[in-house]
Chain A
Amino acid sequence: MDTVALALSLKLAFWTCIILCPLAIFFGRLLAWQHFPGKALLEAVIALPLVLPPTVLGFYLLIGMGSNSSLGQFYHSITGNHLVFTFDGLLLASVIFNLPFAIQPMQRAFEAIPNNIREAAWCCGLSKLESLWRIELPLAWPGAVSALALTFAHTLGEFGVVLMVGGNIEGETKTIAISIYDRVQAFDNNTAGIMSAALLLFSLVTIGLVYRLTYRRRRYGR
């Protein structure tokens, strides 16, 4: 069992969730309730990682974050580090390829809240921020849990984009999915099997918990 890769994967998944949480709330709410020019385009861009082959997405991210790119140079000027083949770059890529997994469940959860519930909150004197915190988020909780769990599980299992953007650097970009691939390449099926089983079990427990929690919370949405 490659514990270093497992720890790195968990770290990557944790920070991806932390960064995506506010983004998912913001964009989920925006897409659920606002009408603005370019909304369909924004939704399409967010959904792209669902349909693009991971290598294609990884290729564009590699080019977009490379040392010659504006983003890569900007990041280097601020931090002194590069984005590609580093944990930071991997995290940025992870945030991007997880956008639909985080935003879409949040969007659906906000859409399920009747409009007059929000209006009733305003009529009760609640500001829009108070309304979000005290009414909308408690009602959108199943969506938030789904978003976080899907993002977490998907990050642990992502292979193509990670390999393209992060490579295979021990302790820096070598996630558990890469490590499994490594072990299989080295004909170490035993270790690969243990890690695959651990990943499978973890994903199954996570998704199971999400569905259970979602089912219990869904009664509020009626």
Chain B
Amino acid sequence: MDDNGVKLNICQQQPIPLDVEIECSAGELLALVGPSGSGKSTILRTIAGLHQPDTGFIHCGQEVWLDRARNIQLPTQSRHIGFVFQDYALFPHLTALQNVTIALGHVDSKTRKGRAFELLEQVNLKGLEDRLPDGLSGGQRQRVALARALAREPKILLLDEPFSAVDQVTRRKLQQELVILRRDIQIPILLVTHDLDEAAMLADRLYVLHKGQTLQNGKPGDVLRNPDNALVARLMGHDNIFSAVVEAHDITQGLTRIHWRGLSLELELNQTFEVGKSIDWVIHPAHIIMHRRDRPSLGERENPVHGVVKELLELGETAVVSLELEGDETTYLRFTVSRHSARRNGLAVGVDASVSLLAEGIHLMPQS
């Protein structure tokens, strides 16, 4: 961790169990993801000093904000944090300008107003300074909340599901604005979100939390493609999680084979697991390639799987296919194809279909 980063280790049993260790460098955006009750928001509140854990410490830059062992506990007001609450928590009786100005108590009173104008301009709210929160849209309120958080000249920016209360279009726009804003602020940013796409798009690193514990952390792509276990895979939205047995390692061909429901699947050599060991494996839908019925190709030799389409859901321009494996009514592969492609291939409930499971997309995990 660099000199201006944040490092924390917090532990508690009540009101929700929590035992996490997190590091975030200056300029890094770290996303905390996980189901409701996993402790994401409690972590932000603890960093802000709004919640006291049983034990642990929080170091931000050179400062110690919390150290239960040494009985150090800085109040929220002394921590210089920028906090964007889920519903923004704007002061309803103050205008947008006053909402920002009130957080500039540390600035000389003569320059306070000018600075507040600058911050509102930075978040594209020029001209709306005199509006009360009631007179602003959801996106505009979020921008005021962000300007207010930045007004504090924070040492860390805490974003608690900041995009959850706005529509999809506004969300995309605000997310882009956050990416632009990040270039100018070299502080750690912690983002709590339920939205995995959002986390993958915005974050440098992900922390996957479950029941107050960190299951895995890493770059979004790594966590998504290489989950540590089936639970992480499920939390990352994977549908295709199965159990199998390691069949063989073929070093000369650079392949590992696994035995799965009567099939032998090939994947890139992975000697982490011994031959004969039971494992879980996962494949991302992007690595499931549907065969064209009218024109077979060479690619079909790669882990071919045959089955019957059990469900076909058209969602806009895509179609979600559930393929029941041949001879196994309890196992489904789920993947998406474009609606156009589904129609051209004559996909419909009850028809036979074949797919290839790309070797590079099969990821092995210890059996849970």
**Interface contact A121-B91, CB-CB below 8 Å:** yes
Q: Which of these, B48, B93, B151, contacts A220 with CB under 8 Å? A: B93
A37 located at the interface, meaning its Cβ lies under 8 Å from any Cβ of chain B in the complex: no
**Interface contact A122-B102, CB-CB below 8 Å:** no
Q: Which of these, A116, A126, A135, A219, contacts B77 with CB under 8 Å? A: A126
**Interface contact A124-B92, CB-CB below 8 Å:** no
Beyond A125-B106, A126-B105, A219-B134, whether A120 also contacts B76 by CB under 8 A is: no
**Interface contact B92-A120, CB-CB below 8 Å:** no
A138 located at the interface, meaning its Cβ lies under 8 Å from any Cβ of chain B in the complex: yes
Beyond A122-B50, A125-B77, whether A220 also contacts B85 by CB under 8 A is: no
B152 located at the interface, meaning its Cβ lies under 8 Å from any Cβ of chain A in the complex: yes
Fill in one digit per residue for B84-112: 1 if any A CB lies within 8 Å of its CB, else 0.
01010111110000000011011000000
Residues on A with C-beta less than 8 A from B48 are 119, 123
Q: Which of these, B75, B102, B106, contacts A134 with CB under 8 Å? A: B102
The A contact surface, by secondary structure, is helix
Q: Which of these, B49, B89, B92, contacts A116 with CB under 8 Å? A: B89
**Interface contact B91-A120, CB-CB below 8 Å:** yes
Residues on B with C-beta less than 8 A from A138 are 93
Beyond A125-B103, A126-B105, whether A120 also contacts B134 by CB under 8 A is: no
A117 located at the interface, meaning its Cβ lies under 8 Å from any Cβ of chain B in the complex: yes
**Interface contact A123-B81, CB-CB below 8 Å:** yes
**Interface contact B152-A123, CB-CB below 8 Å:** yes
A139 located at the interface, meaning its Cβ lies under 8 Å from any Cβ of chain B in the complex: yes
Q: How many residues of chain A get a CB closer than 8 Å to chain B's CBs?
A: 20
Beyond A124-B105, A126-B77, A127-B77, whether A119 also contacts B134 by CB under 8 A is: no
Beyond A125-B103, A139-B92, whether A119 also contacts B152 by CB under 8 A is: no
Q: Give Cα A138–Cα B50 distance, bound, in whole angstroms.
A: 23
**Interface contact A122-B77, CB-CB below 8 Å:** yes
A222 located at the interface, meaning its Cβ lies under 8 Å from any Cβ of chain B in the complex: yes
**Interface contact B81-A116, CB-CB below 8 Å:** no
**Interface contact B92-A122, CB-CB below 8 Å:** no
Residues on B with C-beta less than 8 A from A114 are 87, 89
Within 8 A of B (CB), among A118-158: 119-127, 134-135, 138-139
A22 located at the interface, meaning its Cβ lies under 8 Å from any Cβ of chain B in the complex: no
Residues on B with C-beta less than 8 A from A116 are 85, 87, 89
Within 8 A of A (CB), among B89-141: 89-93, 102-103, 105-106, 134
Q: Give Cα A126–Cα B152 distance, bound, in whole angstroms.
A: 11
Look across to chain A and name the residue whose beta carbon is closest to the beta carbon of B91.
A135
Q: Give Cα A120–Cα B103 distance, bound, in whole angstroms.
A: 10
B83 located at the interface, meaning its Cβ lies under 8 Å from any Cβ of chain A in the complex: yes
Q: Which of these, A121, A134, A221, contacts B92 with CB under 8 Å? A: A221
B284 located at the interface, meaning its Cβ lies under 8 Å from any Cβ of chain A in the complex: no
Beyond A126-B105, A127-B77, whether A120 also contacts B93 by CB under 8 A is: no
Q: Which of these, A126, A219, A220, A221, contacts B102 with CB under 8 Å? A: A126
Pick 6 A–B contacts, CB within 8 A, sort by A: A117-B92, A119-B85, A122-B50, A122-B77, A123-B82, A127-B77
Residues of A within 8 A of B (CB): 114, 116-117, 119-127, 134-135, 138-139, 219-222
